[in-house]
Structure 1
Amino acid sequence: MLFAKISSFGVYNISHMLLSGLILMGVILQNLALGYVLPAAQCDLHLTLPQRGWLAAIPFLAVILTSYFWGWLADTRGRRPVMLFSMVFSVVMSILASFAPDIISFAVLEFLSAVFMSGSTAVVYTYLGEFNNLRHRDKMVAFGSSFVGIGTVVLPGISWLILPHEFSLAIPFLGIAYRSWRLLIVACAVPYFISSILLFFAPESPKFLYSSGQHEKCLKVLKSIYAVNKWMPADNYPVKALITESHTGKCEPAPVSVLSSMWDQTAPLFRPPLLPWTTLACFVQFGIFATTNGFYVWFPTILNSLANHGATDMRICDILDASKASVLNETVVICDDTMNTATFERSIYIGLVFCSMYLIVGFVVDLVGKKMILVSVLSVTGLCGIGANLAANQHLAVVLFAIFQMSGACIGLMNAVNVELFPTKYRAMAICLSMMMGRVGSMVGSNLIGLFLETNCGASFYLFGSIIIVCAVLCLTLPNKKREISAKKQTVEPAQNETHEPV
């Protein structure tokens, strides 16, 4: 895009990346906090293991049911207002959930919080990508996605600071004792709250403004980017007017028109030339989310079992089976919601490794290309997932398990691919659909892994490790970076035709 190049790259783009990254960190904290909350809340809410499984899947279910709507809304009403509205209400619902007296009210409030959270889950990648030209887009999306990795370090850190405290504040009219796990829910919503305040002062995506016919507003945003990056007055911006495109104004839709508009936004994604890319994006995100989020929900439980077991010459599944057998042999079952501090420590170390992968991807993506990174990372992590269950040494198994979780670093990179594969008009919808399939994978993965941990622990590592390897093979069909750039140069109307023919 010509005016994106003239606006240059600098402090403004980096600041915008940091804001988008903070939103992503808020999303990951909200999404995965239940992995630490539920083990600590099992006594207060009288949770069984199956109940913990479906409660952990609630955020993913909410995103599945509403991502489609949020994607349509972002493509027709704008990226920023959709995110701002949804983020504020998500924070409010999370705070209310911390006061839930029973499992039903807790589940309902967590569901509502996740419904609004899904408004920014996928849109933020589009919002981040559209503030950068092709040269810097991959790098900025990768660095913004690194905040997901930072979130996996912050989450166990916050949990470590809050959960060990044994305070209990009685609230008689609700019939609850406000304990540390309730405070953890509020603490995990703080980054989301801060980012919503910052987003209030941020502009709409210039790419969306241009493609929707709001050229004056688009030019104003580009001038502000230029002024900050060049440290010069906005009036010095060399572009005085933008080339206008034919644009049909949209009236406020009636219910029937809404369905028609959503169909118009969706149908092209399932027709050539976009159908192969839609299918590929949805399957790869399904596999990565099912593996990363599916295992992360049970991550604290698995690490807690390993920390409480002294032997180091046993496989992960052998230790989990031994822990399960000891509980079954107890004549009197006492509810224990305490967590070994080694669980938090190991989680932080693994989160640091996870975060480092995001940063490495950000630095090398321009040199190596998205396709090569996706194929390499997914292949290695898939093999490590299979090897994690075969390793006889506990420490080696934990290392391989940590590398296995690094497949999640490809989520943001896959979204960066999607930003370029799909035209502006359908981009947010395409990313929301792929992310929705990813959440389906998260829900399926978390429940399947919970079932496998009870019946056949090793099958979970073999199955999901193999899925990640299949995703790596499918990524071989993506266009090479050189081809992407040449396709961009040949594009006459980038706002409408940013796509590629299927390989």
Structure 2
Amino acid sequence: MFYTLANTTLPLLAWAFLTHPEWDVELFGGQIVIHAWNLFLLATALMPLLSGAAFVFLPESPKFLMSRGRNDEAMAVFRRIYSMNTGRPGEEYPIEKLHSERAGELAGGLAALRGGGAQLAPLFRAPHACWLLLLCGIHVGCMFGSNTLRLWYPQLAAMIGNHVDESLCSAIAPDATPPLPADWEGEGEPCQPIDTDMVTYLQSVIVGSGSILTYGIGGMLVNKCGKKLVTAVCCWVAAALIMTMPVLGAGAFSVVALVTAALAFTSLSGAALSSIPVDLFPTDLRVMALAIYLMTGRMGTILGTVAFPALMDFGCYPPFIAISGVLIVCGAACLLLPNTTLKRME
């Protein structure tokens, strides 16, 4: 839900800066000019800096401290958490002694690499290898469908504008390219800036906030219906919505409604899917399995953002049919996963 809040506030931040091209700041007698988009990038860069500073105030993981034999420090963290959660003094924490979980001494150099390889080897052997490959493939497809549409929507919204009678296909079809200016003497086509207004950014806010409802009810659906079933159904519903966009996207508001609903379902499918590897892999392999899982998902995002404009060259329907087809296959593949709902973690 906080990820969704970020998606809703970012368009507002962009509107606050990018709609004011007159905010040019000249430094050193005009040698350096800071534009509105530079200020926008500066504002977005401050967010991770503030987040990094906030981590300084977080306690160290008790699990890490115990693995290094620092049980006294771990106990202090546990008591601090107990005091923050209950409002009682930390001395009333019911646990008086922690089990010694000190790990062996860390090796260095080639020995460390060999030790890490030995720990990862089971992840690429039966029975974990097949599940990891299947999960990564599904995640690539989900991110291909979800993030491609999410990242390209602001451009589509700007192309459509707020004209009710302008359809999605008329805006992105190859023959919709504006004619060249009469005084154009360069090679190829000039850059045609797209003017945006508050409506364009407001549409992005609506699209980003649409997932809040699905996240709110997602927990109840997952526990009642199962993670893989929720993931599969959400993929199929999102595929159906995306496939109808070229037909039903007859105006800006209809496109907003379809994109909002499609992204809400893909977001829920991704959230349900990401909880499966946590339950499926044992503790000593879980972190690396999640790292590989997330890395492959980002590859799906890159693939989608590159493929979408290439498919638009073939017309309006191919990009949406491709995304829908990928999501349909991902939904079917989810049914091959084991049921891990309410499974006890090991």
Retained in 2: the 8 A contact 1:294–1:442?
A: yes
Q: CA deviation at 1:398?
A: 3.3
User: Given the alignment, which residue of 170, 173, 176 partners 1:325?
Assistant: 176
Q: Structure 1 residues 214, 409: closer, same or farther in 2, change over 3 A?
A: farther
Q: What is the distance in 2 between the residues matched to 1:357 and 1:196?
A: 29
Q: Structure 1 residues 295, 200: closer, same or farther in 2, change over 3 A?
A: same
Task: State the one-letter code of the partner of 1:452.
Answer: L
Whether 1:283 aligns to 2:137 is yes
User: Given the alignment, which residue of 383, 387, 390 partners 2:240?
Assistant: 383
Retained in 2: the 8 A contact 1:388–1:398?
A: no
Q: CA deviation at 1:259?
A: 3.4
Q: What is the distance in 2 between the residues matched to 1:273 and 1:174?
A: 64
Retained in 1: the 8 A contact 2:17–2:36?
A: yes
Q: What is the distance in 2 between the residues matched to 1:339 and 1:304?
A: 6
TM-score w.r.t. the length of structure 1 is 0.61
Whether 1:300 aligns to 2:151 is no
Q: CA deviation at 1:386?
A: 1.3
Task: State the one-letter code of the partner of 1:250.
Answer: L
TM-score w.r.t. the length of structure 2 is 0.86
State the SS of the aligned residue for 2:126.
coil
Q: What is the distance in 2 between the residues matched to 1:206 and 1:459?
A: 51
Retained in 1: the 8 A contact 2:11–2:204?
A: yes
Q: CA deviation at 1:435?
A: 0.9
Task: State the one-letter code of the partner of 1:150.
Answer: L
1:55-102 CA-to-partner distances (Å, cap 9, x unmatched) read xxxxxxxxxxxxxxxxxxxxxxxxxxxxxxxxxxxxxxxxxxxxxxxx
More helix by share: 1
Retained in 2: the 8 A contact 1:157–1:348?
A: yes
Q: CA deviation at 1:250?
A: 0.8
Q: Which residue of 1 aligns with 2:305?
A: 446
**Aligned residue pairs, count:** 337
State the SS of the aligned residue for 1:177.
strand
Q: CA deviation at 1:173?
A: 8.8
Task: State the one-letter code of the partner of 2:98.
Answer: L
Q: What is the distance in 2 between the residues matched to 1:370 and 1:482?
A: 6
Q: Which residue of 2 aligns with 1:107?
A: none
Q: CA deviation at 1:319?
A: 2.3
- Aligned pairs for 1:404-483 within 5 A: 404-406=262-264, 407-481=266-340
1:124-155 CA-to-partner distances (Å, cap 9, x unmatched) read xxxxxxxxxxxxxxxxxxxxxx1111111011
Q: Structure 1 residues 210, 290: closer, same or farther in 2, change over 3 A?
A: farther
Q: CA deviation at 1:328?
A: 4.2
Unaligned runs of 5+ in 1: 1-145, 489-497, 499-503
Retained in 1: the 8 A contact 2:162–2:200?
A: no
Q: CA RMSD in A?
A: 2.7
Q: Which residue of 1 aligns with 2:202?
A: 345
Whether 1:236 aligns to 2:92 is yes
Q: What is the distance in 2 between the residues matched to 1:327 and 1:237?
A: 69
Retained in 1: the 8 A contact 2:12–2:205?
A: yes
Q: Structure 1 residues 389, 210: closer, same or farther in 2, change over 3 A?
A: farther
Q: CA deviation at 1:444?
A: 0.7
Q: Which has the larger radius of gyration?
A: 2
